[in-house]
Amino acid sequence: MFHSLRRFVVGSLLLLSTTLTRAEDPPAGQVKALKITLLSTMLADGAELGEWGFAALVEVDGYRLLFDTGTHSDVVQKNVQSLGLNLDDVPEVIISHNHFDHVGGFLTLREWVRPRVATALSRTHVGEGIFYPRSSPGGPRVEENQMIRIKTEYERTGGEFVSHAKPAQIYPGVWLTGPVPRKYPERNWSGTGLVTTPDGVKEDNVPEDMSLVFDTAQGLVVLTGCGHAGVINTLEHARSFIRPARIHALIGGVHLFAAKEETLVWTSGKLREYGVDNFIGAHCTGIETTFRLRQELGLDRAHAVIGAVGATFELGKGIDPRNIAR
């Protein structure tokens, strides 16, 4: 009986030890090298072009991704050339949501690279709902979602769309949020449009909006297009399915340029809870909002800047804002 009890105790301790070790193990996939370069936003200097739009090139552990494609058909293409970059070895695209200022360069870029490399920009990740019909209330029905037309034309080139209804890890430590749950009532989308969903016609709150998140040893790096789901909803969602880490960097548009005072106070308060280390406020974030968040988060000019075309964030090196935003 003593030996049986001893075996039971030892076995239980070993099981407890294994459980504790597993619980404390680091995540299986973490990003080691990461560089994000802005290709489209409003601020630009040198030979690059600014526009009301967003796009970024992501280089992560040997993989290259294009996140959004700007507004005008040729701006991202020209900025890529001006910055001495190329997209020929970029097989995948992430489109954050359906709005014109994120998809305008999409087909042009695909046709530009395809004659040289047929697989370049040939696989595109989107959030579920991006192809839902859109319209304005009243008047004759006019389809306003250009992604429906783009889908047909893109697939004619051999391109493939991958739709995500939930978070997905596309490479080790590289996560798509999928459509973001709206835990908090962050309302930052523009217009009064309607969207036809499987559950009926509703106010278009951009249900497909998603972001790209990188799990690093320093914390989470989050890349947003407009953050129409709300920047706090997005960060809380990412921290719920990856891990509740600090936010090492927040980069992109967070659509706060027209935010009211109470919204900025609440948002900055929640961001402080996450411990944001670096912030590049691009596109629809707003110039005044970027300065306000810099102050509220206790960051300096080296760690919080207005996004400019060509600006970069590199893991281990931080932000290079280029000349105009330095």
Asked if 169 and 140 touch (Cβ cutoff 8 Å), the reply is no
pLDDT, position 46: 85
Rounded Cα gap, residues 234 and 252, in angstroms: 13
Residue 297 Cα to chain centre, angstroms: 21
Q: What angle do CA 168, 172, 176 make, to 5 degrees?
A: 25
Determine which of 12-21, 119-128, 134-143 has the lowest per-residue pLDDT on average. 12-21
**What is the four-CA torsion angle of 235, 240, 242, 245, rounded to 10 degrees?**
60
Asked if 74 and 65 touch (Cβ cutoff 8 Å), the reply is no
What average pLDDT score do residues 20-44 get? 77
Asked if 285 and 307 touch (Cβ cutoff 8 Å), the reply is yes
Asked if 286 and 259 touch (Cβ cutoff 8 Å), the reply is yes
What average pLDDT score do residues 22-33 get? 65
Rounded Cα gap, residues 326 and 308, in angstroms: 10
Task: Please report, rounded to a whole number, the percentage of residues in the chain having pLDDT higher than 70.
Answer: 91
What the chain holds in terms of domains, given with CATH numbers, is 29-320 (3.60.15.10)
Give the confidence band of 27 by pLDDT, cuts at 50, 70, 90: low
Q: What CA–CA distances, in Å, run from 163 to 151, 227, 253, 261, 318?
A: 12, 18, 22, 36, 32
HEC per residue, 63-129: EEEEECCCCCCCHHHHHHHHCCCCCCCCCEEECCCCCHHHHCCHHHHHHHHCCCCCCCCCEEEEECC
Backbone Cα Rg of the chain: 21
Average per-residue pLDDT in the chain? Answer: 92
Instruction: Characterize the bridge pairing of strands 200-203 and 168-171.
Output: unpaired
From the list 259, 223, 228, the residue with the least C-alpha distance to 39 is 223
Place of tokens 């459980």: 19
Residue 7 has pLDDT above 80, yes or no: no
Residue 118 has pLDDT above 90, yes or no: yes
Give the confidence band of 28 by pLDDT, cuts at 50, 70, 90: low
pLDDT, position 315: 98
What average pLDDT score do residues 232-238 get? 98
Residues whose CB falls within 8 Å of the CB of residue 7, separated by 6 or more in sequence, listed in order: none
The dihedral of CA 225, 229, 234, 237: what is its sign?
negative
Give the confidence band of 79 by pLDDT, cuts at 50, 70, 90: very high
pLDDT in tens, 182-219: 999 999 998 789 999 999 999 999 999 999 999 999 99
Q: Which two tokens stand for residue 42?
A: 């409003």
Asked if 125 and 93 touch (Cβ cutoff 8 Å), the reply is yes
Determine which of 17-21, 153-157, 242-246, 298-302 has the lowest per-residue pLDDT on average. 17-21
Residues whose CB falls within 8 Å of the CB of residue 242, separated by 6 or more in sequence, listed in order: 27, 175, 213, 215, 220
pLDDT, position 170: 97
Task: Please report, rounded to a whole number, the percentage of residues in the chain having pLDDT higher than 90.
Answer: 87
Alpha helices in the chain (DSSP H): 2-24, 75-82, 100-103, 106-113, 146-156, 231-241, 261-274, 287-296
